[in-house]
Structure 1
Amino acid sequence: MPDARFLVVFDADSTLIRNEVIELIADEAGRGAEVAAATEAAMRGEVDFATSLRSRVGELRGIPVTGFTRVLARVEPTPGVRELIAAIHDRGGIAAVVSGGFHEILDTVAPSLGVDVWHANRLVAEDGALTGVVDGDIVDAAGKAAALRRWAAEYGVPTRRTIAVGDGANDLAMMAAAGLGVAFNAKPAVRAQADIVVGPVDLAELIAVLP
């Protein structure tokens, strides 16, 4: 593949999209409120992300995979996302997403928004229903940073020409690994450690910082 001029790696939930997908899935079983509280604690960095995710995914056991259709219908792209991704492509960049969420949703959402490459967790299903287990290694903070480095190498992009955009504590490692770390719609701990803080919930605000 030809080298890219730069690479922008986004978190998915509450960054690329307005929702927390695990909460939408949990709503299918009436467990959204409990899962939302646990997600908030994980995003603030109060609990270990992988441990929290396994616990939250356990709450999804028994939900039919047919519920994904309803979940996808509720996903709201963040304002400005299409404009930003178009600008990235116009300037010779790559738009990537790495998520502690799930391929089952991202495999539809990411290409619909023009994302070039993405990586997330996978949910195990048997007999048409979720088992409450994550398949394989969990995409946590270290996994996100590793994805950014891997894509930078694959696309021939120097680290100094990478941008990481996220909102939660599990985004801090990839933001630190990137040439520019952007806190978007972020928790206080993330805003405190970012190179740039974007307040308005409009991803088009980031066009100005693209190389």
Structure 2
Amino acid sequence: MRGAVFFDVDGTLVPGGSSGQHLADRLGHGAVCREAEAGYDSGALTNQEASVIDARGWAGWTPADVRGFLGSLPLVDGIAETVAWCRERDLLPVVTTLAWDAVGSYLCDRFGFAESCGPRLEIVGGRYTGEVAEHIDEFGKRDFARRVAARVGLTMNRCAAVGDSRSDLPLFADAGLAVAFNGQPAARAAAHVSVAGGDLRAVLPALSAWQGRGPTA
């Protein structure tokens, strides 16, 4: 394995919003989720507090229900092509996100990402209970990336990260290349490269140049 590329979801693969809000709108608690996300964005709520509020709206629904709702998830163009580009160059494509684990699993199955992280919701008897089984924060994203890299024999300077927000900053600080894609100001300030657009392939020139420099162990 020559390297790895870690991709964020909300604001990166999902443009102009979040997968959590998309799902909450369909699960029937969209207004509650919108308020919780605004609280997290402003710093009034921690990620865990916002997740607990959102999770309550999942009670009684099934994983199959959620999988069906994910079929209409808004996504940027060029995801499949970008994943294929990484694979062709022996770069492991991985999803690193604070979105629910069902979202990461869906993106892996649809586009061929190797694996994903994300907070988990409790399931009992085939239905969501409305409780969070496992939380993850921005440092958990970074730690997941570190574990993936170590497992495939990579140091973090041979890994790139693509993201847009403050939840990407710990991983950006570790990665050999940090790319802000449609980034918020904090992400742009922390990134090595900043690009914008509606097609994920906009990050490929930066990844290609980085790979051409031959990141070393």
TM-score by length of 1: 0.86
**Structure 1 position 28, deviation (Å):** 2.9
Per the TM alignment, residue 128 of structure 1 is displaced from its structure 2 partner at its CA by 4.6
Q: Which residue of the partner structure matches residue 8 of structure 1? A: 5
User: Could you say which residue in structure 2 is the equivalent of 1:153?
Assistant: 150
Alignment of 1:72-87 (within 5 A): 72-87=70-85
- Is the Cα–Cα contact under 8 Å of residues 41 and 47 in structure 1 kept in the other structure? yes
**Structure 1 residue runs without a partner (length 5+):** none
Percent of residue pairs identical? 29
Q: Compare 19-28 and 167-176 and name the one that shifted more.
A: 19-28
Query: Residues 162 and 46 of structure 1: is their aligned pair in 2 closer, same or farther, counting only changes over 3 Å?
Result: farther
Amino acid at match of 2:153: G
CA distance change for structure 1 residues 44 and 38 in 2, over 3 Å: closer, same or farther? same
1:99-138 to 2 correspondence within 5 Å? 99-136=97-134, 138=135
Rounded Cα–Cα distance in structure 2 between residues aligned with 1:209 and 1:45: 32
Alignment root-mean-square deviation, CA = 2.1
Gaps spanning 5+ residues in structure 2: where?
Answer: 212-217
For residue 60 of structure 1, report the CA deviation from its aligned partner.
3.0
> What's the secondary structure of 1:125's corresponding residue?
strand
Q: How many positions carry a matched residue from both structures?
A: 207
**Structure showing the higher strand proportion among its residues:** 1
Deviations 1:75-115 (A, max 9, x none): 23321111211111111110001221222233232122121
CA distance in 1, matches of 2:165, 2:148: 21
**1:208 aligned residue:** 205
CA distance in 2, matches of 1:198, 1:134: 34
Q: TM-score, normalised by structure 2?
A: 0.84
Provide runs of 4+ in structure 1 moved above 4 Å: 43-46
CA distance in 1, matches of 2:161, 2:59: 32
Deviation at 1:5, TM superposition (A): 0.7
User: Which residue in the other structure is 2:215 paired with?
Assistant: none
Greater relative contact order (CA < 8 Å, ≥ 6 in sequence) = 1
Provide the C-alpha distance between the structure 2 equivalents of 1:201 and 1:74, rounded to a whole number of angstroms.
17
The answer to whether residue 175 in structure 2 is matched with residue 178 in structure 1 is: yes
Partners in 2 of 1:37 and 1:117 — Cα distance?
30
Q: Do the aligned partners of residues 126 and 158 (structure 1) sit closer, same or farther apart at CA in structure 2, a change above 3 Å counting?
A: closer
